[in-house]
A and B are shown apart, each in its own frame.
Chain A
Amino acid sequence: MSEPRDELAAAPDFIGSDDGEDFSAFAVSRWPGLVRLAFGLTGDRWLAEDIAQTALARAYVAWRRVSGADDPDAYLRRILVNASNRRFRRRRVAEQPGDPPEVAVEGPADLVGERAALLAALRQLPPRQRAVIVLRYWGDLTDAQIAAALGCSPGTVRSQISRALATLRASPVFAGGDEP
């Protein structure tokens, strides 16, 4: 009799190919970060999970290409940002004239207000500016990496960051910001 295996590896051998197992491990490890990044881009928890799923589904379809890429994470980020942008365009039409409440903030009461304020400030930004802020200040990516994710030049990234920071600096979120 064979040794018991753990639950993740418990599929009968004839079901899973090596590719499938590689993808599963990749998806499991990247999922939390993808959902958080998507939440930063959209401010909507449900949408974030859906976009993260979409990105991984697209990576699944192109798994050979993704897994063979020099930087599979860069590939995945690009897919996710594209998916987010497409959703934004759809939502802009579907939700006119006004967006529904999309703040989904969790945590201790004293932090909830601050988080909601930051989300509100991020929502003031156009999608591309929101993306550069999240990718730079949460993802710690370089201009070149952000440019690759957004499909633009590093110069555009720098100008977008500059504009986004100007907007954020004027918001009451930051200690140094002007009070309304």
Chain B
Amino acid sequence: MTAAEDMELRWRLDDLLAAVQPPVVPLEQIMRRGNGIRLRRAGAAAVGVGLAGIIAVTTLALHAGRSAAAPATALSGPAVPGGVIASGTADRHAWRLAVQDIADPGYRCLPAITLNGTDANPVYPDPGYASTVTLGAVVSGTGFAFIQLPASISGITINGRRYVPAVIAAACGYRYHVAGFAYSLAQALRVTVANPPPGWAVVFPIVQPSPQTDGLWINTYAVRGEAASGLLASGYLSGQEWSIQVEFGTGGDCYAFNGNGYQMGSCVPVSTPDGPETIAALPLGFPDPGTGAVGYAVPVSPGTAQLAAILSNGSSELATPRVVDGRKYVAFIVPDPLRLSRLTWLDAAGRVMASTTALPQYGYVQFQP
């Protein structure tokens, strides 16, 4: 290569890559993924392999990595009714932030802060943390947030104009001192605290969500919250091992789709027993042509006994839920070239509870059974 060609290549690469303007570094997501890697490593040491079959569901015991329970906070005063932190109307949609139990009936109480009774963030009472979420086109132009505050701070001010008082909301024996609000995405969000106690800032740090994280709570720093992981399904396809794992926590329902040593990961909104179910799909990576597959994971409503997967060739398979931390999930794979045509929810008597054909090949959709 001549010196001129050398220079030209350098200049063109500089120009090409300088045109890439990265967004703000998603620190919270990065740390969440890092924590997920830690969990996977811990889980990999404890979890074995499962059954064979085109669509298989494991019967292995789950490995749950529950975090230590948070201590009760010393807050005095009555809690707000129904756990409702804040409510209102945005973009002609009613919204409500509340603390509630998101475990299925019969399982240990699992507190979380939810938006509209779904899209849960399983945080513990932990003053100093802010969380934000957007709902994309569902409620465009509006973000939702809550900030956990120490007992000595009675409220916050939004963008220098609006004062939001903190309330005490309770669920599962936990008491949260929290201020919740909706805000416009059209301008930068600035949250200030009047007369902060020692060690606190006047301007509260907020990590803004991005369109890529609609429905996922974005927490400022690694907030303490419920965390658990479990193997949902595994098996062999064309002699190659696959598995689907979930890591449930403040980052969402994060699935790891593993195929022959390769891994795809995705976090989706945490659904609640009464809320819409989030159907996630990702391809599993198999290295040989013709051995691909799409993995599916679905947290299902408490009454679901089985999920029937109808495939593009007319065949059907039944998958049985596994419970991880009081929440039921179903996971399975659909090998190429087949496609998933329909999912049907069945109760214990085999009756159809719900059915949908709006199914993703990649990413997630939400469906209200």
Q: Which A residues are closer than 8 A to B by beta carbons?
A: 1-2, 4-16, 20, 24, 27-28, 31-32, 35-37, 39-40, 45, 48-49, 52-54, 56-58, 60-61, 86, 89-90, 93-94, 96, 105-107, 111, 114-115, 118-119, 133-134, 137-138, 165, 168-169, 173-176
Contact = CB atoms under 8 A, between A and B. Distances in A.
Given A10-B201, A15-B221, A176-B5, A94 B285 contact: yes
B286 interface: yes
Nearest to A8: B205
Interface in B216-252: 220-222
26 contacts: A2-B196, A2-B199, A24-B27, A27-B25, A31-B22, A35-B22, A36-B17, A36-B20, A37-B17, A48-B20, A57-B31, A61-B34, A86-B262, A89-B285, A90-B285, A93-B283, A96-B289, A106-B21, A115-B16, A118-B16, A133-B9, A138-B13, A174-B5, A175-B4, A175-B5, A176-B4
B29 interface: yes
B74 interface: no
B33 interface: yes
B8 interface: yes
Task: Kindly name the residue among B2, B30, B200 whose own CB sees the greatest number of chain A CB atoms within 10 A.
Answer: B30
Contacts of B195: 1
Most chain B C-beta atoms within 10 Å of own C-beta, residue among A6, A52, A57, A168? A57
Interface string B254-296: 0000000010100000000000000000010111110110000
A11 B128 contact: yes
Contacts of B221: 11, 15-16, 20
B204 interface: yes
A142 to B, nearest CB: 15
B198 interface: yes
Contact of A61 (B37, B202, B283, B291): B37
Given A31-B25, A56-B30, 10 more contacts: A5-B202, A7-B203, A15-B129, A15-B221, A35-B22, A48-B20, A57-B30, A61-B38, A119-B16, A176-B4
Contacts of B91: none
Given A36-B20, A39-B17, A60-B31, A93 B292 contact: yes
Contacts, number: 153
A20 to B, nearest CB: 8
B19 A107 contact: yes
Nearest to B31: A60
B38 A27 contact: no
A137 B15 contact: no
Nearest to A46: B212
Contacts of A45: 20
Interface residues of B, number: 58
Contacts of B25: 27-28, 31, 56
Contacts of B350: none
Contact of A138 (B10, B200, B283): B10
A106 B202 CA distance: 38
Contact of B12 (A6, A52, A60, A118): A118
Contacts of A169: 1, 5
A67 B279 CA distance: 39
A36 B22 contact: yes
B23 interface: yes
A125 to B, nearest CB: 12
B199 A137 contact: no
B369 interface: no
Contacts of A24: 27
A119 B283 CA distance: 26
A7 B201 contact: yes
Nearest to B286: A93
A20 B1 CA distance: 45
Of B33, B222, B264, the most chain A CB neighbours within 10 A belong to B33
A12 B283 contact: no
B200 A12 contact: yes
A96 B337 CA distance: 12
B26 interface: yes
Nearest to B290: A96
Nearest to B38: A61
A173 B8 CA distance: 10
The 3 A-B pairs at the shortest CB distance, nearest first, are namely A10-B201, A60-B34, A90-B285
Given A11-B205, A57-B34, A115 B283 contact: no
A85 to B, nearest CB: 11
Contacts of A176: 2, 4-5
